[in-house]
Amino acid sequence: NATTLAFFRRLEALDALVEKHLDLATQV
Amino acid sequence: GPMAAMCVSSQRLCQMVHSAGLRHGTVDRLHTLLATGWWMAAIDSSYDSQLDQMIVRSTNRFTVVKKLANDIAVLPQPAHPGSSLPATLIGLHGQNLFEALVALRLLADATKNVHLEVALAARRLAMQETVDLHIHVYERIVY
């Protein structure tokens, strides 16, 4: 349903943000 | 029996959510739901296997998300939790925090701790969202 779909979209976006900032943290 | 097993798995899940330190009221809401579900399962046995499976699945899923958050939480140095969090994220929750995280633009010279605190904030929001979704599903079953 709509709640579950929205949840998975946000979770994917949050996972991508975590990955991005962990990568940046290792570069500085 | 299955009721005792469900009682144990419910308490374990509540304890895990409690120790994650999520938004105020989350544990109470989950606890009330699971207690209600336990009583419904006591009355109607068609509930107990469905609920117990769900609780175990929630616990497994939450274990993974919580471990990922804990892994990040130990990385910032020196240990001043939240001290490096960008000002635009402080005090935000839920959708507001999500939008601020997506819109966040850090300076090129942002420190390692800033990136780690942002990653932790995103992971903690994912943890809250996971628990909220599971609570939402339980509510649909129990009420």
Res. B78: pLDDT tops 70: no
- A6 lies within 8 A of chain B by CB: no
Q: Where do the H-state alpha helices sit in B1-143?
A: 2-19, 26-43, 45-73, 94-103, 112-142
Question: Which positions in chain B have a beta carbon within 8 angstroms of at least one beta carbon in chain A?
Answer: 68, 72, 75, 98, 101-102, 106, 110-112, 115-116, 118-119, 122-123, 125-126, 129-130, 133, 136
> ipTM more than 0.85?
yes
The answer to whether the CB atoms of A28 and B118 lie below 8 A apart is no
- Residue B42: predicted pLDDT: 86
pLDDT band for position B81 (50/70/90)? low
Calculate mean pLDDT across residues B80-100: 88
Angle at B26 between CA B20 and CA B28, to 5 degrees: 110
Q: What is the pLDDT of residue A6?
A: 87
Report how far residue B82's alpha carbon sits from residue B134's, in angstroms, rounded to the nearest whole number: 27
